[in-house]
Amino acid sequence: MNTGPSDGAALAQQVIAHDLPENVDVVLCPPSVGIVSVATAVRQSSVLVGAQHIHWELDGAFTGEISVSMVQEFASYVIVGHSERRRSFGETNENVQRKVETIHSAGLIPIIAVGESLEQRDDDRAHVVIRTQVESAIEILTPDQTAESVIAYEPVWAIGTGRTASPEQAQEAVGWIRDTVGIVHGQDAATRVRIQYGGSVTPDNCEELLGRDGIDGALVGGASLDAGQFAAIVRAA
């Protein structure tokens, strides 16, 4: 919940002014009120736009919600299952599954966020929690739809806390995710699906995280509000 239409467009223009490398896919996900202005700001660049959230229904009496039909003219991606949505707004695995299906039906790409709480990790349940979240999100998809999706491992305990999973922890969790995709949809889908790490990613830690085998990118939080920091992460990728 940062930046309005004007501020978001200005930040997007600052990002693309950094002459980002062409071999990295970059997606900016502003609040819904800024999607149009940010999409306009980056339309002459290779940078794409995503939504932070959608409802699974295409239309109807859902005051305050936003549908895929409202964003698909401007957005290519949608974040779904972010830990803040799960924690603060009661988003369940079933909700996530319905949203992922709707996103694909609209021809958009879901960025499916999964991850465990600190209590779950301390109780040695991280593997089970992550596997269950991934299975639920992709079991209704085809192997090709799954391969075209993005899955982001974001440990809840590392969101907005300044704490970051160690490269070893991140790589292990990404491995669990890829193994789960393979079990559900086969090795081809597991090889093709893009798996990111998210959770207090900064220019200082991104190279070590992104250098780990199997980690295909980053879901950037607070550092994305600073164009210079965000551009540095893109260059590291």
Catalytic residues: 82, 154
d(CA 204, CA 209): 10
Other C-beta atoms closer than 10 Å to the C-beta of 125 total 14
Helix axes 126-138, 167-185, angle to 10 degrees: 40
Other C-beta atoms closer than 10 Å to the C-beta of 117 total 17
Give Rg (Cα) of the chain.
17
Nearest residue to 112 (alpha-carbon basis) of 121, 99, 102: 99
Amino acid at 20: L
Other C-beta atoms closer than 10 Å to the C-beta of 177 total 24
d(CA 184, CA 139): 7
Give yes or no for a contact between 79 and 100, defined as CB atoms under 8 angstroms apart: no
d(CA 193, CA 63): 34
